[in-house]
């Protein structure tokens, strides 16, 4: 069995993967940028993303691909995976890094640190007046996977009322005070002081926060988007910021992405834009968690046990 591993793991993390393999000599470490057609043809297992999901069409023996992302865009296209092959993702690896990024952005906007940093660059000793409070506010979390759950837990610990919205309403996790389906979103948006989106990119999530829903937000609302940029109507959000209809927005993802240099959102008041870096490997602990997920699932695969984070190819979500 040939196992090809693509993430840029450290030597210690490579050793963890090798220790999980029944035959370490079957494991090949190859960055996705160095992937060859020969390796794709021979691979039985792919641990990590490819440069393009379309490369899957070159595989001939693939039984399982484990993504190093939580997002699955491009990998669920009908017919792209060989028949019978299993797709798993890295849900569980990104909650820590991304939820802390969201928290940092929220404090920056509520406490006007963005304005004070701009003043610092201009060497201006100037008060920006009242700042906002976080404790006691209402936080609406749209998407309660690992990232949304981690963020909701942090906000609840800060004394906020947390409301979760998800596609399928099941048992309410302790991190939210209320749990609702997407059909309730319009009635929940006006209550929110913070709207946090951590949704995957697929047709069902496109413009979840569209122009009409943005118009339902209160002037105190801050929008945080760390999932996929397509979940928010970029132009409508930009218009709302310029018009002062909402208090701010922090976007680690945009639509389009990268955001064009001439897009007005770059200079919108109280907008924080980062280039899709809240996840990735910016936090070293994330890569370690990915390695641990890979090693655990490799052991399960070899033992014929159920894999963690199996993706439903029709929805792109974990089953």
Query: Tokens in use for 281?
Result: 């490997």
Cα(163)–Cα(246) distance, integer angstroms: 19
Q: Which of 276, 296, 300, 308 is catalytic?
A: 276
Cα(229)–Cα(221) distance, integer angstroms: 18
228 catalytic? Reply is yes
- H helix count then E strand count, the chain: 9, 12
Q: H-helix or E-strand containing 270?
A: none
Cα(250)–Cα(6) distance, integer angstroms: 31
Q: Which of 100, 257, 292, 296 is catalytic?
A: 257
DSSP reduced 3-state for 161 = strand
Q: With beta carbons less than 8 A apart as the criterion, state whether 79 and 101 touch.
A: no
What sign has the CA pseudo-torsion 67, 73, 76, 81?
A: negative
DSSP reduced 3-state for 282 = coil
- For residue 116, with 0-12 CB atoms within 10 Å meaning exposed, 13-18 middle and 19 or more buried, which class applies? middle
276 catalytic? Reply is yes
Cα(182)–Cα(144) distance, integer angstroms: 12
Cα(184)–Cα(179) distance, integer angstroms: 10
Active site residues: 228, 257, 276
């Amino acid at each position: 069995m040939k196992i090809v591993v693509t993430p840029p793991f450290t030597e210690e993390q490579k050793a963890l993967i090798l220790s999980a393999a029944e035959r370490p000599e079957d494991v090949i470490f190859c960055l996705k940028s160095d992937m060859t057609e020969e390796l794709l043809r021979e691979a039985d297992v792919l641990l990590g993303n490819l440069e393009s999901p379309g490369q899957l069409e070159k595989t001939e023996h693939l039984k399982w691909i484990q993504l190093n992302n939580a997002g699955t865009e491009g990998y669920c296209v009908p017919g792209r995976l060989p028949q019978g092959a299993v797709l798993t993702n890295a849900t569980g690896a990104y909650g820590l890094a991304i939820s802390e990024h969201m928290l940092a952005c929220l404090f920056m906007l509520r406490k006007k640190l963005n304005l004070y940093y701009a003043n610092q660059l201009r060497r201006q000793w100037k008060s920006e007046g009242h700042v906002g409070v976080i404790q006691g506010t209402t936080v609406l979390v749209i998407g309660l996977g690992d990232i949304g759950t981690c963020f909701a837990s942090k906000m609840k610990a800060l004394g906020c009322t947390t409301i979760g919205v998800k596609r399928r309403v099941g048992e309410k996790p302790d991190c939210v005070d209320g749990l609702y389906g997407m059909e309730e979103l319009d009635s929940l948006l006006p209550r929110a002081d913070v709207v946090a989106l951590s949704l995957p990119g697929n047709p069902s999530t496109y413009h979840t926060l569209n122009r009409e829903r943005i118009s339902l937000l209160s002037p105190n609302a801050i929008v945080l988007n760390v999932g996929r940029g397509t979940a928010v109507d970029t132009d409508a959000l930009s218009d709302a910021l310029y018009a002062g209809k909402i208090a701010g927005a922090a976007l680690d993802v945009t639509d389009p992405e990268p955001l064009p240099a001439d897009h007005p959102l770059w200079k919108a008041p109280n907008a924080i834009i980062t280039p899709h870096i809240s996840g990735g490997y910016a936090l070293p602990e994330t890569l370690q968690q990915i390695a641990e997920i890979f090693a655990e699932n490799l052991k399960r695969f070899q033992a014929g046990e159920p894999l963690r984070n199996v993706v439903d190819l029709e929805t792109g979500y974990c089953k």
